């Protein structure tokens, strides 16, 4: 059994991001289901976001003031009208052809926003990974981050790591599970110290030596689907260990994971959210995988392996 990762360009010049497995050592590699795509069967509040990107081009701003996903106030009506006025005036002077062109641009606005976010997200994702890799050079010790010149945007994660992480155990590893026919890349793993976290339901104590999968997300908040995806990585790392892109084993985990930590680096403050319902999330991931295939969304070679 041999795994490998294909990141070569496809016909359109985009990276394939394909996880492949030669299950019977015949030299024939077949495409695995990508872990990150499985949770696409779940609803996320992205339809509202896409709609908002469209109407922003027409002078709209959100009536609610939010910080890190939480409402903290309302925008006065007069301020909203002031922002909308210039575009409203411009539209009244446009020809029908110009107006249709404006509508076409509005339709594509969410796609451009995604592209811009992806480019910015790539940089922040790389910085977060680099911090973990720096820690691993010092036996996973997060204190290595103290005094280093990390940009302000990821400093909350650095500070959290120094407070909550006992040691990082890996950074950006490939993984797969032949039984579920899935493959993926897990951002990081860590062993945590005993500490207290604030949740919507009050304070929760994280026990000493809690083991977690960490996933970096470009979203502005941590969605439930992200924790379910993290459990998918846990299933794979626990089954076949830590691999590089060529399928070489570079490590194993000696104990199962207890939870998932999501780092929403699209938020104003990049602060991790921890949840310890690992068994429930693993079960949810398996159900999502079944639904993903039942709905015909799976583009892997699951049916032919």
pLDDT tens profile 203-229: 899 999 999 999 999 888 899 999 999
Yes or no: say if 186 and 170 are a contact pair by the CB < 8 Å rule.
Answer: yes
Distance CA 239, CA 225 (A): 22
Question: Which range among 213-222, 283-292, 296-305 has the greatest average pLDDT?
Answer: 283-292
Q: For residue 191, how far is the Cα from the chain centroid?
A: 20
* Mean pLDDT, rounded, of the chain: 89
Handedness of CA 152, 156, 157, 161 (dihedral sign): positive
Q: Which of 35-44, 208-217, 261-270 has the highest mean pLDDT?
A: 208-217
Residue bearing tokens 């039942």: 294
C-alpha 9/C-alpha 16 separation (Å) is 6
Residue 239's Cα: distance from chain center in Å?
22
> By three-state DSSP, how is residue 272 classified?
coil
For CA atoms 140, 144, 148, 153, give the dihedral sign.
positive
Tokens of 158: 């650095």
pTM, whole model, 2 decimals?
Answer: 0.80
Beta-bridged to residue 71, according to DSSP, are 66
Q: Are 291 and 41 in contact (CB under 8 A)?
A: yes
- Give the number of other Cβ atoms within 10 Å of residue 244's Cβ: 14
């Amino acid at each position: 059994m041999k795994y490998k990762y294909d990141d070569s360009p496809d016909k359109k010049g985009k990276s394939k991001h394909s996880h492949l497995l030669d299950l019977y050592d015949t030299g024939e590699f077949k495409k695995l289901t990508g872990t990150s795509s499985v949770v696409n069967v779940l609803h996320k509040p992205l339809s509202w976001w896409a709609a908002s990107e469209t109407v922003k081009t027409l002078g709209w701003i959100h009536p609610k003031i939010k910080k890190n996903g939480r409402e903290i106030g309302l925008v006065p009506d007069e301020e909203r009208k002031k922002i909308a006025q210039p575009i409203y005036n411009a539209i009244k002077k446009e020809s029908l052809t110009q107006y249709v062109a404006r509508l076409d641009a509005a339709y594509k606005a969410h796609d451009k926003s995604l592209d811009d976010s992806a480019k910015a997200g790539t940089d922040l994702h790389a910085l977060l990974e680099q911090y973990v890799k720096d820690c691993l050079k010092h036996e996973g010790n997060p204190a290595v981050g103290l005094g280093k010149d990390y940009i302000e945007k990821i400093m909350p994660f650095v500070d959290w790591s120094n407070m909550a992480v006992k040691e990082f155990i890996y950074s950006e590893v490939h993984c797969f599970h032949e039984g579920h026919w899935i493959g993926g890349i897990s951002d990081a793993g860590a062993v945590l110290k005993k500490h207290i976290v604030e949740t919507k339901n009050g304070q929760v104590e994280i026990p000493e030596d809690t083991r977690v999968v960490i996933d970096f997300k470009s979203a502005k908040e941590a969605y439930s689907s992200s924790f379910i995806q993290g459990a998918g990585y846990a299933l794979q790392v626990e089954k076949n260990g830590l691999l590089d892109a060529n399928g070489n084993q570079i490590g194993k985990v000696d104990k199962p994971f207890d939870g998932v930590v999501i780092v929403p680096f699209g938020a104003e403050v990049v602060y991790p959210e921890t949840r310890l319902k690992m068994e429930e999330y693993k079960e949810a991931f398996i159900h999502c995988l079944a639904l993903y295939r039942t709905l015909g969304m799976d583009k892997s070679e699951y049916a032919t392996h």
